[in-house]
Amino acid sequence: AACISPCVIHSPPLFSLPLRPCRCLHFLVLYFQLQESQQSSADFRFYIENHTRNPDDLSRKQVRIYQLYSRTTGKHVQILGKKINANGDDGGKYALLVVETETFGSHIRIKGKESEHYICMNEKGKIVGRPDGRKQECVFVEEFLENNYTALVSAKYKGWYLGFNRKGRPKKGSRTTQRQQEVHFMKRQPKGRLDPLEEFRFTTVTKRTRRARRLKPKRN
């Protein structure tokens, strides 16, 4: 009978494996990428903390001028100075509001264009007008409702809303909820001022409009 010798496989020494140096290099690359990622995350967190530590130091993202139509009174919020009500007429000078939007989020400050007083809410929930609006009591957060109205909740006193009763008098924030009509407002352009979209509407020119233009008398 033939003698079959067992097959012996001689493995090369470990230092001669070509894959080991590649693996080490791969791990080094991953290590440096991880260190760089952690450093970038730390720098970003440091940037955010420094720029959100004091919201009063933030630059304004946008400044708008409009009116706040009260769903309860059918009139507009007006800032007379220290006193604020929702009995303003459309286009009234005290009903023109300068709304300052902060850089981060939907936090706003509302100032009367004529009186230069801000709408603020004190610790008792009372709505007052103040000439300095840098305090947190003068910051409100916009909440957009399903019925196309907007509610303004205090940024400092959670759950307390800006609201007015049927006589136009301010309601205490502690007695308000988002579902009440007293806290529902609608943004409106001042009387006589066109909506920005209105300025870009085009008029279709037809034979009738051309004839009307020819017959239109010239002004001296």
Q: What is the pLDDT of residues 63-117, one digit of tens each?
A: 999 999 999 999 999 999 999 999 999 999 999 999 999 766 689 999 999 999 9
What lies within 8 Å, CB to CB, of 96 at 6+ separation is 65, 67, 112, 113, 114, 190
Give 190 or 34, the one with higher predicted confidence. Answer: 190
pLDDT band at residue 184 under the 50/70/90 scheme: very high
Interval 16-41 mean pLDDT: 60
CA distance 166 to 182: 8
Give residue-wise pLDDT tens across range 107-143: 999 999 999 999 999 999 999 999 999 999 999 999 9
- What is the set of domains in the chain, with CATH numbers? 56-188 (2.80.10.50)
Does the structure show a pLDDT above 70 at 5? Answer: no
pLDDT the model gives residue 153: 97
What mean pLDDT, rounded, does the chain reach?
77
Whole-prediction pTM: 0.62
Predicted local confidence at residue 113, as pLDDT: 97
Measured in Å, how far apart are the chain's first and last C-alpha atoms? 131
Confidence class for position 21, pLDDT limits 50, 70, 90: low
Neighbours of 175 (CB within 10 A): 13
Stronger pLDDT, 89 or 12, i.e. the higher one: 89
The 3-state secondary structure of 118-174 reads EEEECCCCCEEEECCCCCHHHCEEEEECCCCCEEEEECCCCCCECCECCCCCECCHH
Mean pLDDT of 184-207: 62
